[in-house]
Amino acid sequence: MAWPIAEVARMSGVTARTLRHYAEIGLLPPAWIGSNGHRYYEERQLLQLQQILVLRALGVGLTEISRIVGAQVDELEALRGHHRRLVAERDRLDTLAATVSRTIADLERSRKDGTPMTSINRPENLFDGIQPADIESSLRDFPEHIEATRLATAGMTPAEIEAGQRERTARMVRLAELMAAGHPAEGERTQQMVAEDYRVLIGLRTGVPLDEYLALARSCTENEQWSAAYEAIAPGLAAYQRAAMEAYAAARLS
C-alpha cells in the first residue's frame, strides 16, 4: 500500500515541505514518484519517518540522524534502540519532575516558617535529573567554540568536567530565580549574571565577534538542546536568557 505525501503529512504532523526537504537531502526519499509528479510513501518509508521523528524528539540533528539511519541494517533492532533511549529519557524526566517538586516544597516550607531549604543544605539535590546537553553537539553551529572547549577540557579530570557542568547548571538556576523574582532581562542583577557568563565565554576563547555572540543568544531559543536544558530549569528561561544576552550585547558590546 502507498500513501501520497499529503496523507503522510496529515498522519505524521510533518509538513509536506519538510518531507520534500528530507527527500532533497537524501534522508527520506519517497518510495516512488507518479507520472503526475506526486510523491508516494510505502510502509518502509513510514517506519523510517517514525525513526527520524523519534530521534528529532531526542534532540538529534539531521546530519547525525542521516548517519544513524544510513548505518541501520535491521529496522526492528533500530526500533529497540530508540525505545531504550525513550525509556531512559522518560526516567530522566521523572527524576527531574521529582527534583522540581521537592524544591517547590522546600521553598514553600522555607518561606512559611523560615527554616533553611533542605535542597540548599544538600545542594546536589537541586541537580538530580539535570544533565547538561553534550557540549559539542549543542555547539555544532559554532565550530570555533567546539575547538576552544576541546582545548579547555583536554587536561581536565572527569570530576573537574562534572564540576564545571554543575556550575553551569547552578548559574542557570540563579538566573531562573531572578526571572521568577520579576527582575527584567535588561536589569542590573540579571546583567551581572550575563556578564559572568560572558567572562566564562571569553575565558575559553578571546575575541568573540558581536554577530557570533548574538547568534549564541538566538540559540537559547532556536537550538533544541539548549532550549530544552533551559526549559527543564524553568518555563520561559530560554527566552529570558536570550533577551538578557541581547540586552548585554546592545549595552556593552556594540
Answer whether residue 117 shows pLDDT above 60.
Answer: no
Higher per-residue confidence, 102 vs 172: 172
pLDDT at 184 over 90: yes
Question: Above 80 in pLDDT, residue 229?
Answer: no
- Is 78 a residue whose pLDDT tops 90? no
C-alpha pair distances (Å), 79 with each of 21, 69, 218: 23, 11, 33
Residue 88 vs residue 122, higher pLDDT: 88
Q: What is the pTM of this model?
A: 0.47
Residues 6+ apart with CB under 8 A from 191: 244, 247, 248, 251
Res. 244 pLDDT band, cuts 50 70 90: very high
